[in-house]
Amino acid sequence: ADRNPGQPEFLQAVTEVMESLWPFIEAHPKYAEQGLLDRLVEPERVVMFRVSWVDDHGQVQVNRGYRIQHSMAIGPYKGGLRFHPSVTLSVLKFLAFEQTFKNALTTLPMGGGKGGSDFDPKGKSPGEVMRFCQAFVSELFRHVGSDTDVPAGDIGVGGREVGYMAGMMKKLSNRADCVFTGKGLSFGGSLIRPEATGYGTVYFADEMLKTRGRSFEGLRVSVSGSGNVAQYAVEKAMELGARVITVSDSSGTVIDEEGFTPEKLAILMEVKNHHYGRVSDYAERTGSRFEAGVRPWHIPVDVALPCATQNELDADDAATLIRNCVLCVAEGANMPSTIEAAKAFEAAGVLYAPGKASNAGGVATSGLEMSQNAERISWPREEVDGRLLQIMQGIHAACLKYGARPDGSVSYVDGANIAGFVKVADAMLAQGVI
């Protein structure tokens, strides 16, 4: 904590990982050698920079840009860019740290990184967003590259923003290689990448349910968020026969006891993706109930899929879900459950998957986008989806292997942390003290 003052999210993420790794490290002391743990909690490089741009009124705006290059041990730095007013050094360091283990879990050769800015895309014109993205890349470009660091989208950074950044990158570097993933299909994007995180979360949850002889068929599901991850989690859960009852955003929650349908999801996508609207607009258009200022966790469900943001599900929310007999919680977002909430789920025997395992489908498919670009080919939808499913099943199996407890239960938290750690740590030990 002394080395990282004012970085609560980063300390939270490191604490959670170290707590779950500790018994494993005690049993395997080679992992405490060569200063390995001290090196692992220190990002290899942090870049912070000024982003100045001119708004539609001719005023100069100044934001702060960041890129955290956490670990290159198993491949180029890889991780998304987040544009949101809540972005700080602490938030991005936590995300880059988590990303390193998550990327290792996918078994693809990707290191860990994360970046972004405190820029708020809400209420900005398309021209302002483009100028901001270009200004951001006018500094970022010197730190990234297809074999160095390959950023992608995250909160506030979707296909449009990735397109503007990839375009500026090409102009500055005079190269067309893959420096961004999450690109549009017309210039190197992969089929299934937009769907991948949401679909992957549901694939992972499905594997968890199978361990109890269950499936999504007929289950009640709550989803939080209504962005990229949430939308495709809703779609896949519906496809597997679940009744999805909620979506939300920072203004409140929509509750629809009849459950989502493909038609309703199309309306949600139109409202959120084309008009940058609120879920309350969606509720109005579909006549569903909207509760302002609340999160979805008080609604009784069998499966909860938090897909909005960090720390959106606290100990009280967890207690309510447990009281309502929730069977499975799989995180589509990064660290949506507080440490206390995660512990409560595990103590109550709820099937609980941390984001670094259950939401790894996004970055895995980004890895597949990199492979396709390097080979200059595009795989069909079924091929990418099939590989995504296989990767999620592989991560689930790794969690079972490393997370099995003597009493026969499984800690997905321990399983994901240890499986990711072993891969990164072995690579670091093999490459000496650097």
Which positions are annotated as active-site residues? 114
317 touches ligand NDP by CB under 6 A: no
* Min separation Cβ 33 and ligand NDP, Å: 32
Query: Whole-angstrom Cα distance, residue 335 to residue 341?
Result: 11
How far CA 356 is from CA of 37, 195, 197, 336, 352, in Å, comes to: 19, 17, 11, 11, 12
Of 227-235, 237-245, 395-403, 415-423, the segment contacting ligand NDP by CB under 6 A is 227-235
Cβ atoms 31, 121 nearer than 8 A: no
CB-side exposure of 314: number of CA atoms within 13 Å?
3
Residue 324: is it exposed, middle or buried by C-beta count within 10 angstroms (0-12/13-18/19+)?
A: middle
273 touches ligand NDP by CB under 6 A: no
* Min separation Cβ 50 and ligand NDP, Å: 24
Query: Whole-angstrom Cα distance, residue 95 to residue 100?
Result: 9
Q: At what angle do helices 8-27 and 412-430 cross, to 10 degrees?
A: 80
Query: Whole-angstrom Cα distance, residue 143 to residue 49?
Result: 11
Closer to ligand NDP by CB, 312 or 369: give it: 312
Query: Whole-angstrom Cα distance, residue 434 to residue 431?
Result: 8
* Min separation Cβ 25 and ligand NDP, Å: 27
Residues 318-337 that bind ligand NDP (CB under 6 A): 332-334
Of 170-178, 222-230, 337-345, 426-434, the segment contacting ligand NDP by CB under 6 A is 222-230
Residue 107: is it exposed, middle or buried by C-beta count within 10 angstroms (0-12/13-18/19+)?
A: middle
Query: Whole-angstrom Cα distance, residue 367 to residue 322?
Result: 36
Query: Whole-angstrom Cα distance, residue 59 to residue 156?
Result: 22
200 touches ligand NDP by CB under 6 A: no
- For ligand NDP, the binding residue among 108, 305, 308, 344 (CB under 6 A) is 308
Residue 80 is assigned to a ligand binding site: no
* Min separation Cβ 228 and ligand NDP, Å: 4
116 touches ligand NDP by CB under 6 A: no
* Min separation Cβ 142 and ligand NDP, Å: 25
Closer to ligand NDP by CB, 117 or 138: give it: 117
- For ligand NDP, the binding residue among 20, 181, 359, 411 (CB under 6 A) is 359
Binding residues for NAD(+): 197, 228
Residues in touch with ligand NDP (CB under 6 A): 86, 153-156, 197, 225-230, 249-251, 307-309, 312, 332-334, 359, 362
Binding residues for substrate: 78, 99, 102, 153, 366
